[in-house]
C-alpha cells in the first residue's frame, strides 16, 4: 500500500488520511488485549522514539492517502470485528481522524485510539490508550536508528506535555501505558504520575496504569519482560504483555 513519504497531503485533494497499513488482528496491548480488532495505522509522528516498532510511520513515513469514507469501507469489510484501533505514527496529528472516529462511532464500533499523549482533539473515543514517553525513548546519537541524533532535542522537548495529558485524562476513559525496561523507568513513571495528579482535575487510578516491556521483537522481549513483570508486582501497577509480538514477532499487518 505505501506509495509516498510526505505526510502533508499533496494538492490534489483535501481531507483524507495517510494510511500506512489497515489490517485485522487481535489487540495485542492493554486492557482490551486479545479482542479481535481492525487496526488503522496512520503515518507521521511528532516524536521519534529510538525503539519505535512502527518505523515506517515515524523515522521513514510511508503511506497511501485514503479518504475517510474509503477507510470506513475497508474497516466494514472485516465483518467479524466490532472493535477498531486507530494508531500510527501519531494518529491525533491528523484532523480527519476526528471524522473517521465519528463515522465509526455512528456505525456502532468500539474505538480505541493509541496516542503518545501530546495532542488533544475532541472526538468520540471509547478508550484513549495513552503512552506518554519516558526518557528511555529519546533518540540519543548512540540509539538513533539513523545514527545522526538530529531528533534528540526536539523529541526531548515534546515528549511530555502535562497540560495536554491532564486534559486527555479528564476528557476520555483512558489507560496510561508506559514502555519500561528497568527500575529507573518506574521511578520516572511515579514522578510523572505525581506531577499529573497535581494538575489534573480528575483522579488517576493506579488500575489505569500499565507497564509494558520494551521490545519490538520476541528476542528483545525475552530480555525485558520478566523484569517488567516483577516491577509491576513490586509497585502495584498492571502489566501488559505484547501478545502480537509473542504471536507474530515483528511481521507487518499484525
Ligand atoms: C507505534 S505506537 C503508535 C501510537 C502512538 N504514537 C504512541 O506512541 O502511543 C503504538 C504503541 O507501541 C508502543 N511501542 C512502540 N515501540 C515499542 C517497543 N519497541 N516496545 C514496546 N512498545 C512499543 C508505544 O508506546 C505505543 O503504546
Ligand atoms: N496486534 C496489535 N496490537 C496492537 N495494539 C497497539 C498496537 C499499535 O501499534 O498501536 C498494536 C499492533 O501493532 N498490533
Ligand atoms: S510516539 Fe509512537 S509512533 Fe511516534 S515514534 Fe514513538 S512509538 Fe513511534
Ligand atoms: Mg504496534
Name residue, grid cell 491525533. 92
Which tens digit of pLDDT belongs to each residue from 150-191? 999 999 999 999 999 999 999 999 999 999 999 999 999 999
Q: Which atom of ligand 3 is nearest to the CA of 54?
A: 8
Q: How many helical (H) and strand (E) elements, i.e. helices and strands, does the chain have? A: 7, 9
Nearest-CA residue for atom 3 of ligand 3: 89
pLDDT per position as a tens digit, 198-252: 999 999 999 999 999 999 999 999 999 999 999 999 999 999 999 999 999 999 9
User: To which residue does cell 489505569 refer?
Assistant: 208
Q: Cβ(134)–Cβ(74) under 8 Å?
A: no
Report the pocket of ligand 3 as residue ranges, CB < 6 Å. Answer: 45, 47-49, 52, 54, 57-58, 88-90, 116
181 lines ligand 1 (CB under 6 A): no
Q: What is the pTM of this model?
A: 0.96
What would be the CATH architecture of the domain defined by 17-248? Alpha-Beta Barrel (3.20)
11 CA distance to ligand 2 middle (Å): 31
Query: What ipTM, to 2 d.p.?
Result: 0.99
Atom of ligand 1 nearest to the CA of 177: 27
Evaluate: CB of 58 within 6 angstroms of ligand 1. Answer: no
Sheet holding 127-130, edge to edge: 64-66, 17-26, 36-42, 83-87, 110-115, 127-130, 174-180, 209-213, 238-239
Determine the distance separating the centroid of ligand 3 and the alpha carbon of 131, expressed in angstroms.
Answer: 9
Amino acid at each position: 500500500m505505501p506509495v509516498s513519504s510526505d505526510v502533508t497531503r499533496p494538492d490534489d485533494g483535501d481531507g483524507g488520511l495517510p494510511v500506512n497499513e489497515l489490517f485485522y488482528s487481535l489487540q495485542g496491548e492493554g486492557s482490551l488485549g486479545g479482542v479481535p480488532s481492525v487496526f488503522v495505522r496512520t503515518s507521521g509522528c511528532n516524536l521519534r522514539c529510538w525503539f519505535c516498532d512502527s518505523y515506517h510511520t515515524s523515522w521513514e513515513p510511508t503511506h497511501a492517502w485514503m479518504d475517510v469514507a474509503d477507510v470506513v469501507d475497508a474497516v466494514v469489510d472485516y465483518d467479524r470485528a466490532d472493535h477498531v484501533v486507530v494508531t500510527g505514527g501519531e494518529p491525533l496529528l491528523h484532523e480527519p481522524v476526528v471524522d473517521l472516529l465519528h463515522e465509526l462511532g455512528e456505525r456502532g464500533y468500539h474505538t480505541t485510539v493509541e496516542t503518545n499523549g501530546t495532542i488533544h482533539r475532541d472526538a468520540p473515543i471509547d478508550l484513549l490508550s495513552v503512552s506518554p514517553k519516558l526518557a528511555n525513548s529519546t533518540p540519543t546519537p548512540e540509539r538513533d536508528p539513523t545514527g545522526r541524533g538530529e531528533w534528540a532535542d526536539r523529541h526531548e522537548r515534546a515528549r511530555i506535555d502535562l497540560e495536554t495529558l491532564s486534559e486527555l485524562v479528564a476528557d476520555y476513559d483512558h489507560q496510561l501505558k508506559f514502555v519500561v525496561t528497568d527500575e529507573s523507568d518506574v521511578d520516572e513513571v511515579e514522578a510523572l504520575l505525581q506531577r499529573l495528579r497535581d494538575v489534573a482535575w480528575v483522579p488517576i487510578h493506579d488500575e489505569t496504569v500499565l507497564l509494558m516491556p520494551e521490545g519490538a521483537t520476541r528476542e528483545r522481549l525475552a530480555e525485558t519482560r520478566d523484569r517488567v513483570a516483577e516491577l509491576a508486582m513490586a509497585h502495584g501497577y498492571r502489566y501488559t504483555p505484547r501478545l502480537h509480538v509473542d504471536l507474530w514477532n515483528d511481521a507487518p499487518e499484525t
